[in-house]
Chains A and B, each alone.
Chain A
Amino acid sequence: MNKVTLESIFNKVLSKEVDFCETFEEEAATKVYRLLNSNLDKINYNYLKGIGIRIANNSDIVYGYSNKLDDNSINNLVDNLTKNFSNNRKLFNITLNDLKIYKTNVKINHNKMSDDKKKEYLYNIDKIARSYSDKIVQVDASFYEYDQKVTIANNSSNYVEDNRIFTRLIINIVAESNDKQTNSMKTFGLSGGYELLDTIDIEKEVILLAESAVKKLTAKSCPSGEMPVIIGPGFGAVIFHEACGHSMEATTVALGTSVLSGRLGEKVASDKVTIIDDGTLNNYWGTTNIDDEGNPTKKNILIENGILKGYLIDELNNRKMNMNITGSGRRESYKYAPTSRMNNTYLAPSIDKIEDMIKSIDYGIYATNMGGGSVDPVTGDFNFAVNEAYLIENGKVTDMVLGGSLIGNTLDILKNVEMVSDDLSFDTGFCGSKSGSVPVTIGEPTIKVSKILVGGN
């Protein structure tokens, strides 16, 4: 949509008694190459193009979207959205600023790597995994390419465009023996192109996954009960994403219903806990130049040495909270109104040694690989899955165990973080919430939690 058309939309909307208007245009293509049964099985291609319009007057908010972009359809959408706002006697003549264009820093664009090269890489993953053991019965590996262009304008004359490129590799290896089946999965992703592959030692990673899937075939069941747990680096940070990240999003904080509402400046976690959400980390999977409200992303310190320092705040929730926006307004697509969300959330490293963590435990588990989870941000009750874990008995790591989960409450877990190591690493995922599913990075060093409820047999 050109600038003149956008300005006419703004002028039409502002002829009503409204104090906020925003347009979000999006054009996005997703392409997935999937290897299965040692063949390139499918190429899935999805393309979307549409506009979302958000209008507010004080705290009255309406949102509408359409992928019918002709003048008539857009006019109908605007009429439908503004019909309940009273007329404004003032005349407006909004002039948008010159378009400011951002783009992801990319070294190898998706179309700069040939289909043959992509296939060769996926075949190699299959070959390495199947060579590891004849117990490997399936290798499911995919490249995920996402090219998104968003153009955002609002009645403060902001007019910005972000050209985003994301690339991800997903590997899932299935092992089978005596009718027992296990799997191990890992993802690698960045905000960028196929330079992603330069960051992966693929042979090492695939062998580790295959080894894990095969070892699980003979693993014991996870023990159960409340016990100390060491959580490995990287995806282990899902504990902080679920346990406290969601509770710091303005969606529930502004309503005063989050377990962390109204607690700024309070000590909510152990001294070892410093949690940061940073949308600016160079080329990380959860990084964008601007958020989906057109504001530059930021580094936001949420908890510092156990003290609650801030929340994640979007444009409209800042009205309710009277606090500065944090560049955290995100949405899956034009089909969602944005709200405050996490980008790259991590626990800052400290100085504890993993050997000391293990030695300090008589009976517990060492969760080396975590799955996803979920949280109720109001009560703070959360859960997440353990994909791979080992028993700790008398200060030593012993047998592999599997099939467990960890559950607890945000406020308890934050206080029970007893030790934090220095091996900070990051993993990638998608986070689902009110404004849809968005790419996020989570990171943490290895930590020891003094007690948490473990589900097992």
Chain B
Amino acid sequence: MIDELLKLANSKNIKIEVFIDEDETVDIETINDKLEKYESSSTDSYRIKASYNNKIVTINTEDISNPETIINNIINFSNALDKEEETTFARNIDIRNNIKEKEVKDYKKIIDDLISLNEYKEKYPNIDNINMYYTDKYNKVSIINKDAKLIDTSNINYIYGEIVWKENNINQTGSFNVISLEYDFAKIEEKFIEMVNDVKDKIKAVSCKTNKYNVIIKNSEVFKILSRYKDMYDAEQIRNNLSPLNKDYNKQVFSNKITIVEDPLNTSLVGTRIFDMEGNATYYKELIKDGKFITKLYDNRNAIIEDVKSTGTSGGVRNMYIVPGSNSYEELIKKMDNGIIIDSLEGLHAGANAITGELSLQGAGYEVTNGKINKALKLIIMQTTLKELFNNVIDIGNDLEIFSVTGGSPSILFNDITIVGKE
């Protein structure tokens, strides 16, 4: 069908390429000692990029059985568009196609592993509910046009765990997630125990006094912020005044301790990709170097508009992280001496303004006194801006952890951040 589509496009003077995304996924959910849900899926989807009469059209579809309908849509949509623009199409680049077969997993063992976590209820009788999710996702992407055929594959394991701790009729929840190339139950169990210990402290959490504090934000929560602002480097967002960095290219925007990179070819990380959605080779790059914004991100269309080269990031960044420092998490706590640890930030989709960079976020964590964790905190608000936060960096931890294909972060110690509490 793809051949037919390419041929028909060619006969109508339409330049075209197809990005194919094939997913095979198994999802398992356990609630307490029972398998709650087993889910199996197989889907193919197609992203068709076309250029007709110097207009660029993109169509996402799950059905290419009718090439004529697709071609008619391309022609109709391009007629409606206002601006004439150019783009380029994938060529066979000097990369080795990365084709791996789906790894065979023993799902029965995985279910047994997840259910075995219920044994911790004996040691911790306040655990009221354990909800575990496992996803095994095999993904194959390819790009086909008249000049190129590129293929890349990945097989990723996701775990999400959640518990409810009940004490004196009060509920407290805790959660964790692990993303990895190999299924690793030892790592899952370690994270599970870490979460249980956190939740049993959080049940006694209180609010704090409104003030400016030195603050450690844990790696997972720094990554939530980084992830919310992953499009701020995008040249199109910047040109359209839709990025908090829209006036800041080649300027110092953050503390010189902050370097943010995209590392898509690092095969030890889960987001590895050898080409982007338009077939450009991906490569290691610094987006922010020593606090200076040095790399804007371009797909083919925007690269032509600004007369530069594509950055191989069409479809989004992969393996983006803040370069870690040398201090362990425990050393950061000692260094902070007095302040607040934030290990939970909620509501970023609304409380972190993607255009202005304002942050007003529900948080939870711990108060630290004389270098030691003193008491648990919840229902506090971290009130700052993206630039204030990343300019007030004291030190960066060495605990870089990857949380999604987009990337990860180490924990960071900040100074003078407003924390609002009830006291």
**Cβ contact within 8 Å between B347 and A374:** yes
**Cβ contact within 8 Å between B347 and A383:** yes
Q: Does A403 have its Cβ within 8 Å of any Cβ on chain B?
A: yes
A44–B48 Cα gap in the complex (Å)? 11
Residues in B whose Cβ lies below 8 Å from that of A73: 42
Q: Does A274 have its Cβ within 8 Å of any Cβ on chain B?
A: no
**Cβ contact within 8 Å between A257 and B240:** no
Closest chain A CB from B273 CB (angstroms): 22
Chain A interface main SS type: strand
**Cβ contact within 8 Å between A385 and B173:** no
Given A373-B350, A405-B351, are A40 and B82 neighbors across the interface (CB < 8 Å)?
yes
Q: Does A372 have its Cβ within 8 Å of any Cβ on chain B?
A: yes
Residues in A whose Cβ lies below 8 Å from that of B351: 371, 373, 383-385, 405
A84–B40 Cα gap in the complex (Å)? 13
Within 8 A of B (CB), among A60-119: 60-68, 73, 77, 80-81, 84, 115, 119
Closest chain A CB from B389 CB (angstroms): 13
Q: Does A296 have its Cβ within 8 Å of any Cβ on chain B?
A: no
One of B45, B172, B247, B379 near A408 (C-beta < 8 A): B379
**Cβ contact within 8 Å between A379 and B240:** no
Stretch at the interface among B177-185, B190-198, B352-360: B352-360
Q: Does A36 have its Cβ within 8 Å of any Cβ on chain B?
A: yes
Closest chain B CB from A440 CB (angstroms): 15
Q: Does A271 have its Cβ within 8 Å of any Cβ on chain B?
A: no
Q: Does A50 have its Cβ within 8 Å of any Cβ on chain B?
A: yes
One of A49, A77, A373, A457 near B383 (C-beta < 8 A): A457
* Size band of the interface chain A makes with B: 35 or more
**Cβ contact within 8 Å between A224 and B358:** no
Residues in B whose Cβ lies below 8 Å from that of A372: 347, 349-350
Residues in A whose Cβ lies below 8 Å from that of B75: none
**Cβ contact within 8 Å between A456 and B42:** no
A447–B207 Cα gap in the complex (Å)? 25
Q: Does A145 have its Cβ within 8 Å of any Cβ on chain B?
A: no
Q: Does B57 have its Cβ within 8 Å of any Cβ on chain A?
A: yes
**Cβ contact within 8 Å between B172 and A379:** yes
Within 8 A of B (CB), among A347-388: 371-374, 376, 378-379, 381-386
Which residue on A lies nearest to B76, using beta carbons? A115
Residues in B whose Cβ lies below 8 Å from that of A183: 353, 355-356
> How many of B's residues come within 8 Å of A, CB to CB?
63
Given A455-B383, A456-B420, are A63 and B39 neighbors across the interface (CB < 8 Å)?
yes
Q: Does B249 have its Cβ within 8 Å of any Cβ on chain A?
A: no
One of A378, A381, A405 near B164 (C-beta < 8 A): A378
Residues in A whose Cβ lies below 8 Å from that of B383: 224, 403-404, 455-457
Stretch at the interface among A6-14, A173-181, A202-210, A281-289: A173-181
**Cβ contact within 8 Å between B38 and A84:** yes
Residues in A whose Cβ lies below 8 Å from that of B247: 179
Q: Does B97 have its Cβ within 8 Å of any Cβ on chain A?
A: no
A385–B58 Cα gap in the complex (Å)? 33
Given A379-B172, A409-B379, are A49 and B41 neighbors across the interface (CB < 8 Å)?
no
Give the one of A60, A67, A402, A407 with max B CB within 10 A.
A407
**Cβ contact within 8 Å between B60 and A47:** yes
A37–B73 Cα gap in the complex (Å)? 24
Q: Does B304 have its Cβ within 8 Å of any Cβ on chain A?
A: no
One of A43, A255, A455 near B57 (C-beta < 8 A): A43
Contact string, B207-235, partner A, CB cutoff 8 A, digits 1/0? Answer: 10010000000000000000000000000
Chain B interface main SS type: strand
Given A46-B60, A405-B351, are A67 and B43 neighbors across the interface (CB < 8 Å)?
yes
Residues in B whose Cβ lies below 8 Å from that of A138: 240-242
One of B35, B242, B244, B350 near A140 (C-beta < 8 A): B242
A91–B43 Cα gap in the complex (Å)? 32
A455–B207 Cα gap in the complex (Å)? 13
A115–B351 Cα gap in the complex (Å)? 35
**Cβ contact within 8 Å between B171 and A259:** yes
A140–B73 Cα gap in the complex (Å)? 24
**Cβ contact within 8 Å between B242 and A255:** no
**Cβ contact within 8 Å between B73 and A45:** yes
Which residue on B lies nearest to A68, using beta carbons? B42
**Cβ contact within 8 Å between A174 and B39:** no
**Cβ contact within 8 Å between A65 and B41:** yes
Q: Does B104 have its Cβ within 8 Å of any Cβ on chain A?
A: no
Residues in B whose Cβ lies below 8 Å from that of A456: 360, 383, 420
Given A37-B240, A378-B171, are A403 and B42 neighbors across the interface (CB < 8 Å)?
no
Within 8 A of B (CB), among A124-180: 137-138, 140, 174, 176, 179
One of A68, A373, A403, A409 near B44 (C-beta < 8 A): A68
Given A50-B62, A224-B420, A457-B418, are A407 and B171 neighbors across the interface (CB < 8 Å)?
no
A49–B379 Cα gap in the complex (Å)? 43
Which residue on B lies nearest to A176, using beta carbons? B241
Given A224-B420, A257-B128, A453-B420, are A45 and B350 neighbors across the interface (CB < 8 Å)?
no
Q: Does A211 have its Cβ within 8 Å of any Cβ on chain B?
A: no
Residues in B whose Cβ lies below 8 Å from that of A40: 80-82
A138–B241 Cα gap in the complex (Å)? 7
A420–B214 Cα gap in the complex (Å)? 41
Q: Does A246 have its Cβ within 8 Å of any Cβ on chain B?
A: no
Residues in A whose Cβ lies below 8 Å from that of B44: 67-68
A64–B41 Cα gap in the complex (Å)? 5
**Cβ contact within 8 Å between B242 and A80:** no
Closest chain B CB from A126 CB (angstroms): 12
Residues in B whose Cβ lies below 8 Å from that of A60: 35
Given A379-B173, A457-B383, are A47 and B81 neighbors across the interface (CB < 8 Å)?
no
Q: Does B83 have its Cβ within 8 Å of any Cβ on chain A?
A: yes
A47–B60 Cα gap in the complex (Å)? 6
A25–B116 Cα gap in the complex (Å)? 36
Residues in B whose Cβ lies below 8 Å from that of A62: 37-40
Q: Does A41 have its Cβ within 8 Å of any Cβ on chain B?
A: yes
Within 8 A of A (CB), among B376-407: 378-379, 381-383
Give the one of A77, A183, A378, A402 with max B CB within 10 A.
A378
| 8 residue pairs A–B, Cβ–Cβ below 8 Å | A45-B58, A65-B43, A67-B43, A67-B62, A138-B240, A376-B173, A383-B346, A453-B381
